[in-house]
Chain A
Amino acid sequence: MSALRTVIARDLMLAVRAGGGAALALAFFAAVATLVPLGIGPDLKLLARIAAGVLWVAAVLAALLSLDRLFQADFEDGSLDLMALAPLSLEALAFAKIVAHWLSTGLPLTVIGALLAVAYGLPAAATGTLVLALLIGTPAVSAIGGIGAALTLSIRRGGLILPFIVLPLVAPVVIFGAGAVAAVLDGLQSGALLFLAAFSLLAVALAPFAAAAGVRLNLGA
């Protein structure tokens, strides 16, 4: 357990210090979310309608920005070899890295998402649902992104391939996440949040094993 916490703490420290990707991802998220209304125009009704979709897409893309270095940085400087030889299993290591990525990206994205939703004129009830959906769904983005990051860790400019692997797999997160908010706006009952939670749990539970297999494959190559 303590080794797991150690990896999480270290990855968090690397993410927030200069050169880490966390602040960059958040700035990207805010920039995209600010740019969309400039392109669409000041129709508050329309903006409230599309807010959830725009924020979800922006959040997923922002998370991708910091995902490509999840394993690659440690692979390139040789840290990953030393981690593979440490008592901590690669599965636990992958889990720790996914948790650290979520804490440094997914969680702050959720907080900023709440502010941006208000700026988009989303009603209070729908904003609550969006925040809840982001809170439930972003771990799945970090987890599935972790698999992609592990598979592409030895590829130069692997970050360019990453979206092609990750985006199709996180489509359900965007669909259910934005769908839950749309249902609230329409005053309908919806099980979207439950589907989102189920998907997220499954992703977080299985991703460490898939990511560890990806790391093993790349280390032995």
Chain B
Amino acid sequence: MTFALAIERLALTRGHRRLFAGLDLSLRAGDLLSLTGPNGAGKTSLLRVIAGLLAPTEGIVRIRTDSGEAVDGEDRARLVGWLGDRDAVKPQLDVGEQLRFWAKLYGTPAPEPEAFGLKPQLPGQYLSSGQKRRLALARLVLTGRKLWLLDEPLAALDDDGKALLAGKLTAHCAAGGIAIAATHDPLGVDGLTLRLGDA
């Protein structure tokens, strides 16, 4: 058995607007999916539904773990690594403190900030938006989760940062993980593409 994600007949209506309906998707270990589509097409909402942060109007999201166990409902939160549209960086804490906090919360070892081009003593207050994005990426990697959900991971990243992200995505998928990234720009890694919002 390998790690896999299955989405069946997924539908989401927000307010009176139907964002997507009858969405079927099946991804296996090593797959990288780029989620594209115009602004407001429901990319972020789809990621939130997959993570279990948002309940779908209809349909099922199911994850099969390496041991063959099928996980759905709230339990799948334990398998999801999240890089949201917001960076979740606290201005009062320095880079090292933030990474150590998240590492302890997720029960994993904290990564070296230098590996992500960050200085550990840098206060969150003085981070540029690109540096915040790098911090968010470092946090995603430290979770050690097998299903990565990334919302606009390229935003504000410089060329080095984009290469760093591409490297992490490649390594993650090569290690048997799955990654889904909502993005407007090419990730720089070969993968599948799903376009929302044309229906």
- Which positions in A face B, CB cutoff 8 Å? 2-3, 6-7, 10, 13-14, 17-20, 74, 76-79, 81-88, 219-220
Contact = CB atoms under 8 A, between A and B. Distances in A.
Contacts of B91: 19
Q: Among A19, A79, A83, A220, which residue has the most Cβ atoms of chain B within 10 A?
A: A79
B88 A85 contact: no
A14 B92 contact: yes
Given A13-B93, A84-B77, A85-B77, A78 B87 contact: yes
B93 A14 contact: yes
A27 B36 CA distance: 50
B194 interface: no
Contacts of A78: 84-88
Interface stretch (B27-35, B64-72, B98-106, B174-182): B98-106
B120 interface: no
Contacts of B86: 76-78
B92 A220 contact: no
A171 to B, nearest CB: 34
Given A78-B84, A78-B86, A78-B88, A87 B53 contact: no
Interface residues of B, number: 27
Interface in B51-93: 51, 53-55, 77-78, 80-82, 84-93
Contacts of B105: 3, 6-7, 83, 86-88
23 contacts: A2-B107, A3-B104, A6-B104, A6-B105, A13-B92, A14-B92, A14-B93, A17-B92, A76-B86, A77-B88, A78-B85, A78-B86, A79-B88, A81-B51, A81-B84, A82-B82, A82-B102, A85-B53, A85-B80, A86-B105, A87-B105, A88-B105, A219-B54
B84 A82 contact: yes
Contacts of A17: 92-93
B139 interface: yes
**Shortest 5 CB-CB distances between A and B: which pairs?**
A78-B86, A78-B88, A17-B92, A6-B104, A79-B88
A87 B55 CA distance: 20
Contacts of B104: 2-3, 6
A7 B82 CA distance: 19
Contacts of B87: 77-78
Given A17-B92, A77-B86, A86 B106 contact: yes
Q: Report which residue of A3, A76, A81, A83 has the largest number of chain B beta carbons within 10 angstroms of its beta carbon.
A: A81
Contacts of B92: 13-14, 17-20
Contacts of A86: 105-106
Contacts of A14: 90, 92-93
